[in-house]
Amino acid sequence: MCGILGIFDNKRLNEGLLIQMRDTLVHRGPDDSGIWISLDKRIGLAHRRLSIIDLSEAGRQPMSDDEGRIWLTFNGEVYNFAEIREGLIDKGYKFKSHTDTEVIINAYKEWGTECLNKFNGMFAFGIYDDKKKIFFLARDRTGKKPLYYLSDGTGSRFYFASEIKAILEDRRVSKELDLKSLNCFFTYGYIPGEGSIFKGIMKLPPANALVYSIDTGQIKIWSYWDPPNLSDNSASEAELLEELEVLLQDSVKMRMVSDVPLGAFLSGGVDSSLIVAMMSRVADKPVKTFSIGFEDNAFNELPYARIVANHFGTEHHELIVKPDAFNILPELVPQFDEPFADSSMIPTYYVSKATREYVTVALSGDGGDELFGGYRHYLAALLHQRASEYLPSFIRHLAAGADSFLPEKGRALARRQLAKLRLSPNDAFVERSSDPYFGISSRSKLFSGETLDSLSNGLDEPELMLLALLEKRRGDFVNSMTYADMKTYLPDDVLVKVDRASMMVSLEVRAPLLDYRIADFSFGKVCGSLKVKRLTTKYLLKKLAKKILPLELDINRKQGFAIPISKWFRGPLKSDINDIILSGNDHILDRKYIARIIDEHGEGYDHSSRLFALLVFCLWERAYALHG
């Protein structure tokens, strides 16, 4: 991977500042660096390089075309670049390197912004077109690679970068907290959508492109891809299974092109195991695999990973994570630039660190749950839908009222699920998505009066955003839910976690299941009943797993990259964590309510996800000098 940066400053940019901003991204590209500044000193591009394809000097960035009209800074991989390159050569284009970077430049010259439809890969890039006087920015279809931007609103300055920290290095940029984004964070544990935690700094969404006019300061943003609606469900289960196998094998093969050592994350779950199986088919030597586990057997997946590793004869490596792994949090939290409460970022960091000792590129199983219906809350949602269809309203309300008869301690989850029977299936799905963190009622207690006043009537905006995505895909409830998760949880939680944790150790991670052809197949051809069938989640993918993976592997077990934070919060980490959480900014959060949550967790309630969100936020406040 790489780190990219671009600046327009109408007065004159500071070369020293450009370099300083670029080098905040050194972890994304430790192998090389470069800058380019326009003759009028108003435009600057910068790059940090992690060399993967064509390790020679010919791959240095920023890179230009022969005339010096088009300049590019690029992060990621275009996996079908060789095919596009051959087509461009047939059209008369000449190439000085074997990089996908040069392919993007010439593809833009040939097809303009429509070049995006040619690329199969994970990428974020910025092009400066000197003839048109524009920046052209784009991000890959599913959001594997990050891209942030900031316009000062007057047409005087414009920035884009791989990470927020690069933009903030310019002291003229405000660190004002965006309370709408904070509201989202405490709802879902991450910040979905276009905003960021800093007011004015925006995310370019997945599958979106942006053109910024240097002359007028105007910004145009558009989406160039969206997975199709289910339109053809005539194929049999056997035909779909065959097509999926062919697609996945080809996707893995494309992602094994590398001029540096390559391996795979292996949890022993369906997704990562299928990736390793496909890698073993096309590799000419044993695949290097890497797994992580815990001393607590309830969270330890290492035995399952070993079954897969032994079956395919991989060169296997393991690491055990202990409670003192929390010591990495003060270093890990700032890496994300925004508050981020997915605790699996800790094992993701450690498995990335262990993997980087052997390889520079790793393949992962990310995307299988969102594309093929792998989450258990889909089962709860379908049961809710059936209840809404077959039970009269008054019976559902009576059942919902029974939650008050359940004991408080240890039954909070059951109480919440019963209470949801009063809601529509869509509303219940939205509420279920915030269950680990803070729903509307809880946020009204968590936020200080000052924060609530500033949010005004927008406290329910996170829920309304997710509801709108659900309602965009009507007809097939499972596909509606997976679509909503693909647009929010996947790019803004799962892929953020993997990108930041792996980039912290300069490891490139590729996700074959997120090939856009597989996404098109999943949403366009696979009906919801083949994603979640009866009590089986990820049905079609598991059918493929039964065909390919070892029989002794339990593919129906409850899986996940979870860590035992509930026990850790009650055990050796309790005192230190509580001190941090209770020392935060009283202008933003209500400390009395937080103290109550801490007490309840000690009494047996499971508030571990809420406490982790509060811990992360307080550490983030300190890191970005917002504390107090």
State the Cα–Cα distance between residues 549 and 223, nearest whole angstrom.
38
**Annotation says 115 is catalytic:** no
- DSSP letters, 461-508, are HHHHHHHHHHHHS-S-HHHHHHHHHHHTHIIIIIHHHHHHHHHTTT-E
State the Cα–Cα distance between residues 352 and 292, nearest whole angstrom.
10
**Contact of 588 with 614, CB cutoff 8 Å:** no
User: Radius of gyration over alpha carbons of the chain, in Å?
Assistant: 24
One-letter identity of residue 458: G
Tell me whether strands 361-363 and 508-510 are parallel, antiparallel or unpaired.
parallel
373-376 long-range Cβ contacts below 8 angstroms, 24+ apart: 373/478, 373/481, 373/482, 373/528, 373/531, 373/532, 373/537, 373/538, 373/539, 374/270, 374/271, 374/537, 374/538, 374/541, 375/485, 375/537, 376/537, 376/558
Distances 42 to 133, 172, 207 between C-alpha atoms, Å: 11, 16, 29
Q: How many CA atoms lie within 13 A of 593 on its CB side?
A: 16
- Active-site choice (2, 115, 184, 618): 2
State the Cα–Cα distance between residues 230 and 223, nearest whole angstrom.
20
Residue 587 backbone phi and psi in degrees, to 5 = -70, -20
The closest of 149, 189, 228, 505 to 362, measured between CA atoms, is 505
Active site residues: 2
